[in-house]
Amino acid sequence: MHKKHYSIIAYFISISLLFVILITSIRMNAFQHSFYERMYKSLQTSTKAQVPQEDLMKATTALLDYLEDKRDDLQVEIHRKGNVNQAFNAKEILHMEDVKQLYQGTLTIYRICLYGMLIGILYLGIRLKKGAFSYLALRFVNTALYLIIFASVLGAYAIIDFDRFWTYFHYIFFSNDLWLLNPATDFMILMFPEQLFFQLVLRIFACFSIGVGSIFVLCLYFLKREIRAFTTRSSLLLERMKKK
């Protein structure tokens, strides 16, 4: 019973750690202002949207601050086509309310996983003492293997057909069609075209892969050392028994 109990906790820690790495990767990349600035210049967004670069960054900062709950609204004025206008219309604001709700809900799960993971590690450390890390490492390797297979398939699908991947993403996480924006009327779709999101998803995937891969290799290295140490101890024990 105890072993099953420990195993459940270890797998919870492993899954929580993977989720924490994913959300950390998203936060590190999606809220990096320099990324948007580079993409706007690369895609010539300022020229296409007829908005000065500084106003693009002004609107972007407002959006990112809104998602992080650093501001309460998206009322921001920009210069566009020679006139001063509100950057976002009612439909775009409603969509961003949905995005913010999704993001803030994800952060709540992130905190639960983070604190739950720390409590679980502390508990196993007390109960299993020196064997806790080996126990966790083996469970993490098992969990990560399944994730690596799933992420590889998902990543390949996104690269092959990003448009369909991005569409399914919105169908899964949003219950309305507010995300279907029109470049003729909605400024946000000009700010964030598919090429930008494609690069952002690639950066998040790369960051997540590096994080998971590093821990995965570390766990394998530790388990390999444990196996060698166990083999050495077993060999010494057999030699002593033979001598007796």
β-partners of residue 79 are 84
Dump pLDDT digits (tens) for 58-69: 999 999 999 999
Q: Output 28 or 230, whichever has higher pLDDT.
A: 28
Dump pLDDT digits (tens) for 79-89: 998 889 999 99
Dump pLDDT digits (tens) for 155-205: 899 999 999 999 999 999 999 999 999 998 999 999 999 999 999 999 999
Query: Does the model's pTM come out above 0.75?
Result: yes
pLDDT at 1: 44
